[in-house]
A and B are shown apart, each in its own frame.
Chain A
Amino acid sequence: MIEVHDLDIRGSLDVQILGGVSVNLETGQTVAAVGGSGAGKTTLGLALLGFVRPGMRRVGGAVRFDGQDMFGLTDAELRRLRRESIAYLPQNPASTLTPTMRIEDLVEERRLAHSKPTEHLLELVHLPCDRTFRRRYPHQLSIGQQQRVAMARAIANEPRLLILDEPTSSIDPTTQRLMLALVERLRDEHGAATLLISHDLASVARMADEVVVLRHGEIVERGAALRVLHSPVDSYSKALVSASPDIAVDQPPLLEDTDEPVPVLKVRGLSAEFNLGRGRGRRTIRAARDVSFVLSAGETLALIGRSGSGKSTIARALVGLHPPEAGDVLLDGVSVPSLLRRRNRSKRAAIQLVPQNPEESFNPRRTVGDGILRSIRQTRGLSGSAATERLAQLLDQVQLDPALARRRPHELSGGEQQRAAIARALAAEPKVLICDEITTALDTIVQGQVVDLLQQIQRDTRISLLFITHDLALAHEFAHRVGVLSEGKLVEIASMAEFVRDPQSAESRELLGAAPSLSRTLVARQHAAAGVPAEAAS
């Protein structure tokens, strides 16, 4: 139905974005494009819309929809084709909603003559369809609801081609399942073809018929999904598959301490809230409610929870950026003041944070090395050659090329930025390192490298890690214990092995059930192919 033939797209300075890429999508077929960041996956997805991003140009190849070249169409023809036959959901689906339009208009806008009525579309995505709700604006909805409105828009024209760009990276498990079910429904009822762009190999394994592995804009491997994901041939595909965190794969036992655990950080009854908006529309959100836990030396505690469960607020409260409403933080048995300016140098240094967005945490007008040096000077009181020596040590510790430290933050890749941020936190020689969603923006291979680095640092320094994430499968790979947050409350805290074996709370079971597992999905699909019902397979 749609055919990408030998597509060549280049960026500025003739950098290859896509080179000689050919992909065929037949009616009812789902093709997944996988690969690291910068592999050209999004560019490929947009090319299926007949769109090349500004700053890039097509130097060769064609995209044919029902045999007609999309790049040969006039603007009006192209718009018509997109409107009637294609749906595109970007990485953050909520961003597709025009903030000044009402929900019903947003859905109505995408409907065609033969489409289902708006109420029906809203029902399909499990949203209320009463008049009050339909007349709301996007900002009056929760993020999950916004994402579902975006999905209702995507299915409104009953598209023949569906392009999903990392659809599961920013949405919670329930919404995720709904989205996958909708895609399957479109495929079964209308024979829609789907291009699924994802780094989540488990959802690829569930959905895709065929997989193409992209690297530097070239296809390094392609084939039936089960074959590629089960026994990849290319070395890069192998790395991708093995780097994919899998909740069902038993982890080799972590190095357990023989000694009694030495508590380093004690958090008692921490409650924090923050205000959304100002003036009349102001709302108070209770982000942490009576949270207590202990973190021992050399231990990794994973705090997991969905977005909005209060994870980041707890991290910010611990480093003193967000004054809590109640609760104590004790470091080695000594109370730590909740306000940053009341903390002395050693207390500030002892708890360090690696932020979610490393690029944004470095001053854009200074080099990355400058940022690390500043922390060395300020937290350890070193200066001159002692400081530069320490910088060299730290760069070595995080395996970052010293030449890169002379660059500005935007000139580094995501993984390099994250290493630099870790080096800056280590400069303070902290006892506790808080990592707030530090792997979210990284692809699986780089993510694995960063996690390995943290583990190695922990072995060398017996630092305590508080690893905040929504990715249970990743935490499962290296955390000793896990705490589950739900609406600001710590609903469960247990050792990782025990948690996986026997989760205690409903939220834990939900998170465990939604955690990606490539191996499990592959087995289920193989059984399905052999005619065994899915329930029996699992």
Chain B
Amino acid sequence: MTSLAGQEVLAVGRRRARMARVSPMTIALLAVLLAVLFIALFGPMIAPHGKGEVTSLPFDPEVGVVGTDHLGRDVLSRILHGGRPIVIIPVVATALATLIGGVLGIAAAALRRDDVIMRAMDVFAVIPSILVALVLFHRFGAQHWVLALAVIIASIPFTTRYARAAAFPIIHSGYVEQARMIGEIAPTIVVRDVLPNLVRPLFADAGLRFIGAIYLVAAAGFLGFGPPPPSTDWGSMISENIGGAGLNPWATIAPSVFVLLLTIPVNLLADRFAKQVAR
């Protein structure tokens, strides 16, 4: 109960603090992330060679920027062609998983008997995600939607658990009670009171799930469940070329670097976001 003047100063301080929170590091991370996303999405348009085009002998380090791969194709062009699946599948899958997990989490937090949802999630959570993916590949083949489904199944238990924990204090907060007291119906309360306060924590969680999704897609590619040749992704490229690492190490290093350039900024940004939410 600071005086009016003091309160004014504090309020201004808070506003400024909100603006000042974007640090140079955050901007740098965002820049890297956007650059990699740009390359992944628009790479096929700027690639100097086609994805299946043989330009030289296998593992020739002298050709192009980073040499050729195990079939003599230009590695740089392959990287530019191979970014889409590793970006699009995790984005779509993470978005869907967060949506479904968010709904289940809110429901679990709002219902008095939430054991049914949470115990079902516990069962899902104990199955290793890579196992889920491999089983699905054997049944349905290595298609994009199968990969996405594997990511969703692997993420939902955790997203639900997190959303439930984040939604619980909101659903039992004074302002939700207040809304109930003036007779607002449940859907209105969810849209006006619960969701706006849940969006930030859910976003922070989605960032971390996104990384898990990238690893899963990359791992599937590495294990030979990438897109059908001559299409490729960065994970498949790492495994294809690892045998020739002695001849042209760049054919392995370059796709690995791109995976890192995608996951590290997302990881750090999600961390920063989560910290802001915690404040």
Do A and B come from the same complex? yes
Bound form: Cα–Cα A374–B193 in Å: 12
Chain B residues with Cβ below 8 Å from A500 are none
Main secondary structure of the interface of B (DSSP, over half): helix
Are A360 and B174 neighbours in the complex by a CB distance under 8 Å?
yes
Residue of A nearest to B17 (CB): A12
Bound form: Cα–Cα A371–B179 in Å: 9
Are B1 and A378 neighbours in the complex by a CB distance under 8 Å?
no
Q: Interface with A: B48-56, B180-188, B204-212, B231-239, which one?
A: B180-188
Residue of A nearest to B4 (CB): A413
Our pick among A340, A348, A361, A407 for the contact of B175 (Cβ within 8 Å) is A361
Are A371 and B175 neighbours in the complex by a CB distance under 8 Å?
yes
Number of A residues whose C-beta is below 8 Å from B? 44
Are A379 and B7 neighbours in the complex by a CB distance under 8 Å?
no
Bound form: Cα–Cα A191–B85 in Å: 76
Chain A residues with Cβ below 8 Å from B9 are 13, 15
Residue of B nearest to A410 (CB): B14
Are B177 and A321 neighbours in the complex by a CB distance under 8 Å?
yes
A412 at the interface (CB under 8 A from B): yes
Provide the B11-44 mask, 1 if CB < 8 A to any CB of A, else 0. Answer: 1111011000000000000000000000000000
Provide the B130-156 mask, 1 if CB < 8 A to any CB of A, else 0. Answer: 000000000000000000000000000
Chain B residues with Cβ below 8 Å from A348 are 181-183
Number of B residues whose C-beta is below 8 Å from A? 29
A524 at the interface (CB under 8 A from B): no
Our pick among A38, A411, A424, A443 for the contact of B11 (Cβ within 8 Å) is A411
Known: A364-B197, A411-B11. A320 touches B17 (CB 8 A): no
Taking the closest CB of chain B, its distance from the CB of A409, in whole angstroms, is 9
Residue of B nearest to A447 (CB): B1
Bound form: Cα–Cα A15–B10 in Å: 8
Chain B residues with Cβ below 8 Å from A15 are 6, 9-10, 13
Provide the B159-196 mask, 1 if CB < 8 A to any CB of A, else 0. Answer: 00000000000000111011111111000000011001
A291 at the interface (CB under 8 A from B): no
A48 at the interface (CB under 8 A from B): no
A310 at the interface (CB under 8 A from B): no
Are A340 and B197 neighbours in the complex by a CB distance under 8 Å?
no
A159 at the interface (CB under 8 A from B): no
Our pick among B2, B3, B175 for the contact of A363 (Cβ within 8 Å) is B175
Are B6 and A38 neighbours in the complex by a CB distance under 8 Å?
yes
Chain B residues with Cβ below 8 Å from A227 are none
A36 at the interface (CB under 8 A from B): yes
Bound form: Cα–Cα A345–B184 in Å: 10
Chain A residues with Cβ below 8 Å from B184 are 374, 378
Taking the closest CB of chain A, its distance from the CB of B68, in whole angstroms, is 54
Chain B residues with Cβ below 8 Å from A397 are none
Are B1 and A365 neighbours in the complex by a CB distance under 8 Å?
no
Residue of A nearest to B185 (CB): A341
Bound form: Cα–Cα A345–B4 in Å: 37
Provide the A156-167 mask, 1 if CB < 8 A to any CB of B, else 0. Answer: 000000000000
Are A365 and B174 neighbours in the complex by a CB distance under 8 Å?
no
Chain A residues with Cβ below 8 Å from B6 are 15, 38, 216
Are A363 and B197 neighbours in the complex by a CB distance under 8 Å?
yes
Bound form: Cα–Cα A365–B198 in Å: 11
Are A360 and B1 neighbours in the complex by a CB distance under 8 Å?
no
Taking the closest CB of chain A, its distance from the CB of B35, in whole angstroms, is 32
A196 at the interface (CB under 8 A from B): no
**Chain A stretch 401-433: residues in CB contact (< 8 A) with chain B:** 407, 410-416, 424, 428
Bound form: Cα–Cα A424–B181 in Å: 11
Are A13 and B16 neighbours in the complex by a CB distance under 8 Å?
yes
Are B2 and A413 neighbours in the complex by a CB distance under 8 Å?
yes
Our pick among B1, B7, B181, B192 for the contact of A320 (Cβ within 8 Å) is B181
Residue of A nearest to B14 (CB): A411
Residue of A nearest to B193 (CB): A363
Chain A residues with Cβ below 8 Å from B12 are 13
Bound form: Cα–Cα A415–B173 in Å: 20
Provide the A212-225 mask, 1 if CB < 8 A to any CB of B, else 0. Answer: 00001000000000
Known: A379-B183, A428-B182, A442-B1. A361 touches B17 (CB 8 A): no
Are B196 and A378 neighbours in the complex by a CB distance under 8 Å?
no
Provide the A177-188 mask, 1 if CB < 8 A to any CB of B, else 0. Answer: 000000000000
A467 at the interface (CB under 8 A from B): no
Residue of B nearest to A417 (CB): B1
Are A321 and B175 neighbours in the complex by a CB distance under 8 Å?
no
Our pick among B7, B13, B175 for the contact of A412 (Cβ within 8 Å) is B7
Taking the closest CB of chain A, its distance from the CB of B118, in whole angstroms, is 13
A375 at the interface (CB under 8 A from B): yes
Are B181 and A371 neighbours in the complex by a CB distance under 8 Å?
no
Taking the closest CB of chain A, its distance from the CB of B109, in whole angstroms, is 14
Are B196 and A363 neighbours in the complex by a CB distance under 8 Å?
yes
Chain A residues with Cβ below 8 Å from B7 are 411-413, 416
Are A414 and B183 neighbours in the complex by a CB distance under 8 Å?
no
Known: A216-B3, A363-B193. A378 touches B182 (CB 8 A): yes
Bound form: Cα–Cα A228–B2 in Å: 23
Bound form: Cα–Cα A345–B185 in Å: 12
Bound form: Cα–Cα A477–B80 in Å: 78
Chain A residues with Cβ below 8 Å from B177 are 321, 355, 361
Bound form: Cα–Cα A36–B1 in Å: 7
Known: A361-B174, A363-B175, A379-B183. A12 touches B13 (CB 8 A): yes
A-B contact pairs, 29 of them (CB 8 A): A12-B17, A15-B9, A15-B13, A38-B1, A38-B6, A216-B6, A340-B181, A345-B183, A353-B181, A355-B177, A357-B174, A362-B174, A362-B175, A362-B178, A363-B196, A363-B197, A366-B196, A371-B175, A374-B179, A374-B184, A375-B182, A378-B182, A379-B182, A407-B11, A411-B7, A411-B10, A413-B7, A428-B182, A443-B1
Extra 10 A-B pairs, beta carbons < 8 Å, given A348-B183, A361-B174: A12-B13, A15-B6, A38-B6, A363-B175, A363-B193, A363-B197, A366-B196, A379-B183, A428-B182, A446-B1
The 10 closest A-B pairs by CB, nearest first: A38-B2, A361-B174, A37-B1, A360-B174, A414-B1, A378-B182, A411-B11, A363-B175, A365-B196, A13-B13
- A-contacting residues of B (Cβ < 8 Å)? 1-4, 6-7, 9-14, 16-17, 173-175, 177-184, 192-193, 196-197
- B-contacting residues of A (Cβ < 8 Å)? 12-13, 15, 36-38, 216, 319-321, 340, 343, 345, 348-349, 352-353, 355, 357, 360-366, 371, 374-375, 378-379, 407, 410-416, 424, 428, 442-443, 446
